[in-house]
Amino acid sequence: MSSPPRSAAPLRASDDLAIVRRMVDGDADALAELYDRFAPLVLAVTRRILGGAGEAEEALQEAFLQAWNQADRYAPGRSSVSTWLLLIARTRSLDRLRSRGSRDRVAQAAAAEPPSVDTSSRVDDHVLHRERSQRVRQALAELPEEQRRVLELAFYEGLSQSEIALHTGAPLGTVKTRALLGMKKLREALRNEVRELI
């Protein structure tokens, strides 16, 4: 039915696109390849958003299920396959997070340690993403703390700008400004990465 897990392979957008096209054709092996390429990153996102391992794995399964069912909706001109898949995983995770209730989310965000980027020097198992991860972490680490915090609360917690303002105590306009500046700085610092991912 499907091939065994593959070892690390060069990360090329054309390969990813070919995988999705095979999925559209109903090639089961293509789904397995997609899983082998991106499951660790998808699981990182779902665990970062949902915390618990069990629910994070269920969100991962939902993400791949949706990718399989909706492979024909993938638009190569709008984003890379990895971005498409990761956004699906983020959305499914936030759906689960929101089902817990927005109050809980704000309370959890307040109680939790400020989410920080992983700046440890540990060696990633997945070689494919190591260099890119390092560059992204570095760019995020160079952002002012308040800007990075706004981006992380929005992306990982799914909080709206108003909720972030409520949570951080900053005026809404300030929150929006921080988010905009953070996004622009991130893009400036990672232009090459952006070109590959979009």
**Binders of other proteins among 110-169, rule CB under 8 A?**
117-118, 120, 122, 124-126, 129, 132-133, 135-137, 139-140, 151-152, 154-156, 158-164
Least CB distance from residue 15 to other proteins, whole Å? 17
Give the count of residues interacting with other proteins (CB under 8 A).
84
The type of residue at 48 is R
On whether the CB atoms of residues 79 and 197 are closer than 8 A, the answer is yes
Query: Does residue 21 bind other proteins (CB under 8 A)?
Result: no
**CA torsion 109→105→158→38, rounded to 10°?**
80
Query: Does residue 5 bind other proteins (CB under 8 A)?
Result: yes
CA–CA distance, 126 with 29 (Å, rounded to integer): 20
On whether the CB atoms of residues 161 and 195 are closer than 8 A, the answer is no
Least CB distance from residue 87 to other proteins, whole Å? 6
Q: Which of 17, 21, 22, 40 binds other proteins (CB under 8 A)?
A: 40
Query: Closer to other proteins at the Cβ: 16 or 62?
Result: 62
**Binders of other proteins among 48-87, rule CB under 8 A?**
48, 55, 57-58, 60-62, 64-65, 68-69, 78-80, 82-83, 86-87
| CA-CA-CA-CA torsion sign (21, 92, 86, 185) | positive
Query: Does residue 35 bind other proteins (CB under 8 A)?
Result: yes
Cα→Cα distances 3→31, 35, 69, 71, Å: 10, 11, 20, 19
CA–CA distance, 164 with 19 (Å, rounded to integer): 38
Least CB distance from residue 111 to other proteins, whole Å? 19
